[in-house]
Structures are given as structure tokens and as C-alpha cells.
Amino acid sequence: MIKARVTVTLKNGVLDPQGKAIEGALGALGFNGVGHVRQGKVFDVELQTDDRTEAESQINAMCEQLLANTVIEDYAVEIA
Amino acid sequence: MKSAVLLLPGLNRDRDMIAALTKIAGTPPLTVWQTETEIPADTDLIVIPGGFSYGDYLRCGAIAARMPVMQAVRDAAGRGTRVIGVCNGFQILLEAGLLPGALMRNASLKFVCREVKLQVVNAQTAFTRAYAKDQVIRCPVAHHDGNYFAEVDTLKRIEDNRQVVFRYAEGTNPNGSLNDIAGIVNEAGNVLGLMPHPENLIEAAHGGVDGRALFESALDTVAA
């Protein structure tokens, strides 16, 4: 079995109202010097294969078709 | 005209939509469950109502857009069948790639449930020809993720092609949508997505009938 971690983040230039709100809340807690905060998502996916190449191609297809909305999001894949 | 309403778990505006279509068309729409792989070929109008399909998990409309029935919607849209997605239905059409762009969390981060004003920007579509160009209508909205976004090139393309059909008017943009976009059509003009709920303003008991002309246009119950 191969474990993959997918990180989905908003593309540069796409406004992130939730990130902005978190940024504000960090400031309210007294954390000074916080720059921009961007919110994203992490998916841990187990794949029933030992073939890394196959795992990579599967997980990329999953990102393109479902895990990320490529109109507004980028994704990065790490294979353990 | 024969209409069909999609049913997906978590939608909650399906009954309002069915009632509106029934009142305006005179006959009730067919209902089509998400696992069905075909929509009858003689269907003239497919409507995806609002709600919270699949609990808005992952992204609004993302899971629903990958259900089997959506392939049937894609096929029908390709044949020229009219399709309307309202609210969550709009999100589903975007996630399914039937319309360009994306809907993001409202700029205020708040769920908005209120009445807005809409300008009919293009009154020459199959869904708006019973309105006058630039007519301003009232319409309710109720959503958390209605903030329309498209990349610069896409935005320019849909503006140039007159695919923007409704804009929030008179400073009532409730969600931060780019260019005040409230509703768009696809390039062929037979698929409409909009965040506001015209089905909730179609009879006197609703306090107004401003939404009625949209369905009258789509159902061909008015002269063109």
C-alpha cells in the first residue's frame, strides 16, 4: 500500500476571504507581524498498490477530476 | 414543453421548484434521481434546484457534479436541451464544467438570505426573452458560496460573448461576485446558472411575480 498526501491551495490571485478572516483573528490574539494567511486542504489517500508510478498517475487523475477545482485551486502531491 | 427536476440528497429547494414549474407549465415536471443514467429524450428543460447536495462536502456541488445523472445532463445539454441550475444547482453546473468559472465563499463570510435587485443584462436568451433588456427585477437569494470568480481571460470572454445574463443591481451584490455577476449562460446559450431563487417569486402569495418570466421564457409559455 502507498500513502499519498495531497495539498490543495487557492491559486495566486484568487481572493481567500477565509484566509483573510484567520489573518485578522491571529492579529486579534496578539500575534504581531503576521503577513498573508491562505487557507487550504489536505487529503491523505491510501492506494492499494506498491507501484509508485501507478500511484502517482492515479493520484494526479484524482486531483484533476475531483480533489481540486483547477479553476481556482492548485494541488501538490507527496508520496510517502 | 416537458420539464424534469433533478433530485440529489441534500437539496432542499426541489419542492419549491416543482411547485413553480407545475404552476407555470400547467403540468408537473418529471423527477430524476441522481443514480439514473438517462433523462427522457423528449425533455425540453432540465432544472437543478438549490440546497446543500452532499452537505457541501469538499466544495459546494463537487460531489453532485460527479453523479451518474450529470452525464445524462451533459449529453442533453450537448443536444441543445435547456438546463437551469439555481443556487446549489449553479454550483453543480460549474463543478460539472457545463459553465465557466467558480463560486467561492461570500466575501462577507456570512450566509446571506435577503432580497436583491437583478438587472437583466441580456434579454435575448431562451431564459430571459420575456423580460426587457436592462429591466431591474426583485429576487431572493439564500447562500453562503455565491461569490462568482473566473480568471481574467474567462471573464473577458463571457462578457464579450454576452454570457452574463443577470447582474446584482443598485448596490445589492450580496457576495462579492466579480462584475456583480449573478447568472450566466454557456456559449451555446442553452445552459443557465444563477444564484438567486426566481422560483420563490412567481405568484402573488410570494409578494411578487418577478421570477415568473424566467420560467415562462424557458418553458415557451410566452410568445417570443
Domain that holds residue A20: 2-79
Q: What is the ipTM of this complex?
A: 0.87
> For residues B174 and B157, what is the distance between their CA atoms, to the nearest angstrom?
24
Catalytic: B187? no
Q: Where are the beta strands (DSSP E) in chain B?
A: 3-7, 30-33, 45-48, 82-86, 102-104, 112-120, 136-143, 147-149, 164-169, 181-185, 191-194
> For residues B85 and B87, what is the distance between their CA atoms, to the nearest angstrom?
7
Q: Which grid coordinates belong to A44?
A: 491523505
B224: in domain: no
Question: Which pLDDT value is given to residue B224?
Answer: 46
Decide: residue B170, CB within 10 A, 0-12 exposed, 13-18 middle, 19+ buried: exposed
**pLDDT at residue B221 tops 90:** no
B223: in domain: no
> For residues B215 and A34, what is the distance between their CA atoms, to the nearest angstrom?
50
Question: Which pLDDT value is given to residue B123?
Answer: 97
Of A21, A66, A72, which has the smallest distance from its Cβ to B149's Cβ?
A: A72
Domain that holds residue B125: 3-218
Question: Which pLDDT value is given to residue B223?
Answer: 54
How many other C-beta atoms lie within 10 A of the C-beta of residue A80? 10
pLDDT digit string, tens, across residues A27-74 = 999 999 999 999 999 999 999 999 999 999 999 999 999 999 999 999
**pLDDT at residue A22 tops 90:** yes
B187: in domain: yes
- Shortest Cα distance from A26 to chain B (angstroms)? 17
> For residues B163 and B165, what is the distance between their CA atoms, to the nearest angstrom?
6
Give the CATH number, domain containing residue B154.
3.40.50.880
Task: Provide the domain count of chain A.
Answer: 1
Give the CATH number, domain containing residue A18.
3.30.1280.10
pLDDT digit string, tens, across residues B118-153 = 999 999 999 999 999 999 999 999 999 999 999 999
B192: in domain: yes
The model's pTM: 0.94
B19: in domain: yes
Strands B82-86, B45-48: parallel, antiparallel or unpaired by DSSP? Answer: parallel
Is A72 in Cβ contact with B147 (below 8 Å)? no
Task: Provide the domain count of chain B.
Answer: 1
